A and B are shown apart, each in its own frame.
Chain A
Amino acid sequence: MTGPPRSPALRPGLVPGVLSILAMLLVWTLASQLTDRPQTLPAPWDVAARIGRLAATGELWFNAGMTLFRVVASFALAMAAGMALGLWMGRSRGADQWLNPGLIILLNVPALVVIVLCYIWIGLNETAAILAVALNKIPVVTVMIREGTRALRPDLDDMARAFRMRPWARLRHVVLPQLAPHVAASARAGISLIWKIVLVVEFLGRSNGVGFKIHLLFSSFDVTGVLAWALAFVAVMLAIDLLLLRPWESRANRWRQDAA
């Protein structure tokens, strides 16, 4: 986003990264040729062909879009709630002591239990689905932001107080820049956790989305279809990581890089 245009030399790890993906494809190809039942492990080109067909009919875009919508909604909800809770618990010892037991319980309740209870209590609808995913993620974000908040610099805090900075300005210019690495780490860890849970939620109680499609394909043991949907969506998530999260991170960290 900033600085000189990136040349290949500025992207260390690109060549090994591509080679390692090619190696995985090679192993997959070999394994698929060695197995005697092609239904259990189809060849990469069969899966690619299926992805192509799904994309051509528009089925891929609609269902991936629904899944992506649920990922984005529950991600936003989980990050907002987790950051608010983490900041509060990191700042206030009382809040930490009162909320910590609940946090530990939520961290250890299996995702499946939260999902089933949400569907039973709220109903088989979109609200329940998004809330169930967010509830699974909120405690993880809370813990990471709380640790970051505890490590905030006291001297900058004094400076903000001495200059009577308003709470919003303090949060935006003093606190959040210090938390940026923790926010980025929890966003990165969060987005991959969330899309996995979204598939389970769709599997159990939605009538569209990638998880619902995998549910249908599971009943007919269609491994090619399962792999096609999974890989197509992995590609979407990778694109989000590369095109959204990374540029944002490098922008937020700009002040670290250009030391004199």
Chain B
Amino acid sequence: MRLELDAKSFGPRQVLGRLALSVARGERLAILGPSGIGKSTLLRILAGLDTDYRGRLEGADHLALVFQEPVLLPWRDAVANITIPTGCSAATARDWLAQVGLAGHETKFPRQLSLGQQRRLALARAFAAGPDILLMDEPFASLDADTAARMLALTDALLTRSGAGLVLVTHDPAEALALKARALHLGGDPARLQKD
């Protein structure tokens, strides 16, 4: 997929300036920058959630999104939280749950899971959608160091196994390194991409 952005504004304030970005299956990209710079906005544009910008978004890649928060359906159990949004079978859902280490938690509701488990469920949901490119928005932010390290290793393994591409938005260069992602820095006002 390829994005050629001319400008993105919220009201009178221009947040993002001219920038171009492309990513393909198997490619890993990390967008780094301080908080409030417009990283999440850029990811929302890539995900098609924000269409109010000047520029062009091309490519028919199948995308899946992992949010800052797990964003699960609190009224559905773990398996249904995968099958309902992605449309995959219950067997596939159980398989992905096992791959993220949630075997045995299939019938639990999100509130019965710890935050770390909820995030792994969100990760399983994203991979169950069978994406060409996985979009992740600060998915390791509010986790303790141990859990974050395990989540990073898990994400890396699943990306390698599925061959999906990655666009990771983060403020932490170590995460980009751990996922072997090419790092791009977002900076300036309005923000543009700066290569290392």
Contacts and interface: CB of A to CB of B under 8 A. Distances in A.
Interface of A: 155-156, 158-163, 165, 169, 173-174, 177, 255-256, 258-260
Contacts of B49: 158, 161-162
Contacts of B75: 177, 255
A256 to B, nearest CB: 8
Contacts of A173: 73, 76, 80, 84
A7 to B, nearest CB: 24
Contacts of A174: 73
B78 interface: no
A159 B85 contact: yes
Nearest to B125: A163
Nearest to B77: A255
Contacts of B80: 173
A156 B73 contact: yes
Interface stretch (B59-67, B141-149, B150-158, B180-188): B59-67
Contacts, number: 54
Which 6 interchain pairs have the tightest Cβ spacing?
Answer: A163-B85, A162-B65, A260-B112, A255-B75, A177-B75, A259-B111
Interface string B31-66: 000000000000010011100000000000001110
B86 A159 contact: no
A156 B85 CA distance: 11
A162 to B, nearest CB: 4
A248 to B, nearest CB: 14
Contacts of B64: 162-163
B27 interface: no
A156 B122 CA distance: 12
B86 A163 contact: yes
Interface of B: 44, 47-49, 63-65, 67, 69, 71, 73-76, 80, 84-86, 109, 111-113, 125, 129
Given A259-B112, A260-B112, A158 B129 contact: no
A174 B72 CA distance: 10
B111 A155 contact: no
A175 to B, nearest CB: 11
Nearest to B128: A163
B98 to A, nearest CB: 21
A8 to B, nearest CB: 28
Given A155-B69, A177-B75, A258-B109, A162 B84 contact: no
Nearest to B86: A163
13 contacts: A156-B73, A158-B65, A159-B71, A160-B85, A162-B47, A162-B48, A162-B63, A163-B64, A163-B65, A163-B129, A169-B84, A174-B73, A256-B74
B86 to A, nearest CB: 6
Contacts of B129: 163
Given A161-B49, A165-B85, A255 B67 contact: no
B82 to A, nearest CB: 10
Contacts of B65: 158-159, 162-163
Contacts of B85: 159-160, 163, 165
A165 B112 contact: no
A45 B48 CA distance: 70
B109 A159 contact: no
Contacts of A258: 109, 111-112
Contacts of A159: 65, 67, 71, 85
Contact of B71 (A156, A165, A256): A156
Nearest to B63: A162
Contacts of B69: 155
A161 B48 CA distance: 9
